[in-house]
Amino acid sequence: MANSRAQRNVLILCGDYMEDYEAMVPFQALLAYGVSVDAVCPGKKAGDICRTAIQQFSRHQTYSELRGHNFTLNATFDAIEVSKYDGLVIPGGRAPEYLAMNESVIDLVNKFSNSGKPIASICHGQLILATAGSVKGRKCTAYPSVKPVLVAAGAHWVEPETMAACTLDGNLITGASYRGHPEYIQLFVKALGGTVNGSDKRILFLCGDYMEDYEVMVPFQSLQALGCHVDAICPKKAAHDKCPTAVHDFEGDQTYSEKTGHDFTLTADFEGSKASSINLPWTTDFVAAGVLKGKKCTAYPAVKLNVVLAGATWLEPDPIDRCFTDGNLVTGAAWPGHPEFISQLMALLGIQVLF
């Protein structure tokens, strides 16, 4: 449940086959900024999972869909007290199609809407807002196929010029797709009363084919949402080229499973990148880079031998979301540790989110 020591408490409304990025990116970004976040789903309790969907733009007439990560809920829907929360986030994907027919969900959304608390909804999440009557007379956008429903519900439709488009109308923040997360999250943090200090930083991501899906996109968009300039490069590739990613998940087997993830779009040319202008390089291969010698660090447990052979002092990642900072080096074991990982990186860079 919500952490009473946090300055802001936010609720994320989840459901099976919500879009993978649209749940995890705001969830972990807000946690990294010091916001307490509860993720709930009707009919489920804390510790249960929601399956997610990877929805991706393609050459076809609509998006494609693959299985995404399993998203673990950290609160119980039936125990929620709306008065304890400062804002609501509604991911898109297919979940809103059935959540919009759930009376308990509509009642919850109405309570947030009537209170004037910030509501951020993206992609198909606006189907729920339309059913709740929360868009009547309001400017909003969404994934284009949602337009007829929003217009019928009395909304002032704002055509998304790109799939990164977002709109703000009072306490209501809407986005067209996960491509707009940086602005979407930025607007939500501001609506919660947050300000960002020290965000004039330049970050470089060193990417490669089949890097872990969350481990590139969550920190990438979280840093962009803070106002940082973030470039993503890959050897032998240029800006706008794509890197396929992999979904690594923990599903009860003796090691993680692997599935196909989103395609990640690079933002800069590898050959043209200038390290001297970058505040911090982002890479997952410090062993090969030779920067671990004499450092204290952690990693996924299977990498321990490589880390020790590189001359580093191994720090056990127990639990798996534990992260460490040693001088200018921040290390983590796996994507469940993103909130702490990004938070420690922010401290290193001198970035603060204040409420």
Q: Give tens-digit pLDDT for 124-175.
A: 999 999 999 999 999 999 999 999 999 999 999 999 999 999 999 999 999 9
The vertex-272 CA angle with 349 and 216, nearest 5°, equals 50
Residue 133 inside a domain? The answer is yes
The pLDDT assigned to 289 comes to 56
Are residues 166 and 68 part of one domain? yes
Residue-number span of the structural domain to which 47 is assigned: 8-195
Q: Residues 27, 153: one domain?
A: yes
| 126, 214: one domain | no
What is the CB neighbour count within 10 angstroms for residue 303?
Answer: 17
What is the model's pLDDT at position 280?
53
Q: What pLDDT was estimated at residue 111?
A: 97
Q: Torsion angle, CA of 286/289/292/297, rounded to 10 degrees?
A: 0
270 & 228 share domain: yes
The pLDDT of 30-59, averaged and rounded, is: 96
Confidence tier at 286 by pLDDT (50, 70, 90): low
Q: Give the DSSP letter of residue 125.
A: T
- State the Cα–Cα distance between residues 268 and 199, nearest whole angstrom: 20
Q: Please report, rounded to a whole number, the percentage of residues in the chain having pLDDT higher than 70.
A: 94
Could you tell me if 272 and 304 lie in one domain? yes
280-282/242-249 β-pairing: unpaired
Q: What are the start-end ranges of the H helices in 153-258? A: 181-191, 213-225
- At residue 2 the predicted structure's pLDDT band, cuts being 50, 70 and 90, is very low
CATH number at residue 243: 3.40.50.880
With 60 as the cut, is the pLDDT of residue 3 above it? Answer: no
Q: Pick the last residue of a domain from 140, 163, 195.
A: 195
pLDDT above 50 for 1: no
* pLDDT of 273 over the 80 cut: no
Does 207 lie in the same domain as 191?
A: no
Give the pLDDT of residue 291: 81
Across all residues in the chain, what is the average pLDDT?
93
Asked if residue 265 and residue 338 are part of one domain, the reply reads yes
DSSP per position, 64-79: EEEEEEEEEP-S-GGG
Q: Look at residue 84 and give its three-state secondary structure.
A: helix
Q: Do the bridges between strand 87-90 and strand 119-122 make them parallel or antiparallel, or are there none, so unpaired?
A: parallel
Out of 139, 161, 195, a domain closes at 195
List 6's β-bridge partners, or say none.
none
